[in-house]
Structure 1
Amino acid sequence: MELLQQVHRRAIKLVRGLEHLPYDDTLRKLGLFSLEKRRLHGDLITTFQNLKGTYREGREGLFIGNCSDRTRNNGYNLKEGKFGLDMRKKFFTMRVVRYWNRFSKEVVDAPALTVFKARLDKALNNLV
């Protein structure tokens, strides 16, 4: 277990009245995400910003879009881009693409970042 996760677990146990509950139940009661979900949450926000054009530099080849009007997907599925030796980018895309493609069209087509964050929170509660 990572050091950060150990610290997180100890801090959660300091909440009075919830110290007897398991870690996952305590997080649910407090309305918090686990560290894994928080990392995914940040990655998905970065992906949304990347696709909406916030990050202009280094955008080419990170994601390959597959636009479609089929009703079984969100209308904009992603595929991982191909990279030479820069493995971090590939790992980022592998982490994100699997979840992005599961979202409904409502989440993916958010008009602004604040709307996307609100919809993402609801979707992640149901998805992960």
Structure 2
Amino acid sequence: MINGKKFHKNTCPILCLGQSNAGHKLGEEWLESDPAERDVEVLVDRRLNMNQQRALAAKRANRIVGYVKHSITSRSKEVIILLYSAVILLYSALVRPHLEFCVQFWAPQFKKDVKVLECIQRRATKLVKRLEGTSYEEQLRTLEKRRLRGNLIVPYSFLRRGSEEGGADLFSLGSSVSMHGNGSKLCQGRFSLDFRKHFFAESVVKHWNRLPREVVDALCLSVFKRHLDNVLNNML
């Protein structure tokens, strides 16, 4: 190196994307290519596959559910009543963050991936008897609704901030001539690869375009969230 320090290539692995990407050199040293790397704490492989991240998030969340389960030593009616609020709080504070962190990036799209998260949700709802009698579909819908809610908040934030702060260029607004409904509809992109339709910027378009005008035209994020919650109660 110019400053006299020795360069250690094993501390700087790279992720090569594409079939024709043979690697890179720094000076005379070839940098090693890793099969997967972390970006903002999200694990992604060279094919932009999120399976490893989904498995890692599920493993961490499932382990915490196990810790909570093993900490419950009594099943008496009085204790269960007290545990209900505590378990819900622990699940929201310790388990859910692993299932929702950057979920727009790695959200499950296939049934086999959704099933992994469903198993964690099912296990958590069995921690207290008060939840065991409710419909599992109803319990799961809460997690699904939270994921959709977060997905819709992201484009609103990007579009409201404008392209100068970045993010807005992920979406393309439709022409004013053809607009119907909410007046701020997004254009669905065209792509040759089928898996591209699962990318966040594409999958969220159909849900955004279904929102009524009073939701997308909200003057601030807090108002948008309030209107969005009312709409989602009827959508799911």
TM-score of the alignment, normalized to the shorter chain, above 0.5: yes
Q: Which residue of 2 aligns with 1:40?
A: 148
Instruction: Give the aligned partner of residue 24 of structure 1.
Output: 137
Is 1:6 matched up with 2:119? yes
Mark the CA change 1:67 to 1:106 in structure 2 (over 3 Å): closer, same or farther: farther
| Bigger shift: residues 13-22 or 73-82 | 13-22
Cα distance in structure 2, aligned partners of 1:83 and 1:12: 40
Higher relative CO (Cα under 8 Å, sequence separation at least 6) belongs to 1
Q: What is the alpha-carbon root mean square deviation over aligned residues?
A: 3.0
Q: Percent identity?
A: 45
CA contact (8 A) 2:162 2:168 kept: no
Q: SS in structure 1 opposite 2:186?
A: strand
TM-score by length of 2: 0.43
What secondary structure, in the 3-state scheme, does the structure 1 residue paired with 2:231 have? helix
Task: Give the alignment of 1:105-124 within 5 angstroms.
Answer: 105-124=213-232
TM-score by length of 1: 0.74
Q: CA deviation at 1:34?
A: 3.1
Q: Which amino acid aligns with 2:168?
A: R
Residue in structure 2 matched with residue 98 of structure 1 by the alignment: 206
**Are residue 59 (structure 1) and residue 168 (structure 2) matched?**
yes
For the Cα contact (< 8 Å) 1:65–1:78, is it kept in 2? yes
Q: Secondary structure at the match of 1:79?
A: coil
1:13-49 Cα offsets, whole Å, 9 max, x none, are 3343331222123x3xxxx853332222111111100
Task: In structure 2, list runs of 5 or more residues that go unmatched.
Answer: 1-114
Contact 2:185 2:209 (C-alpha < 8 Å) held by counterparts: yes
Q: Deviations over 1:63-87 (max 9, x none)?
A: 11125488941111101356899x7
State the shift of 1:106 in Å. 0.5
Count of residues in Structure 1 that have an aligned counterpart in Structure 2: 120
Residues 73 and 105, structure 1, Cα contact 8 Å, conserved in 2: yes
Q: How far off its partner does 1:118 sit?
A: 1.1
CA distance in 1, matches of 2:198, 2:130: 43
8 Å Cα contact 1:67-1:75 kept in structure 2: no
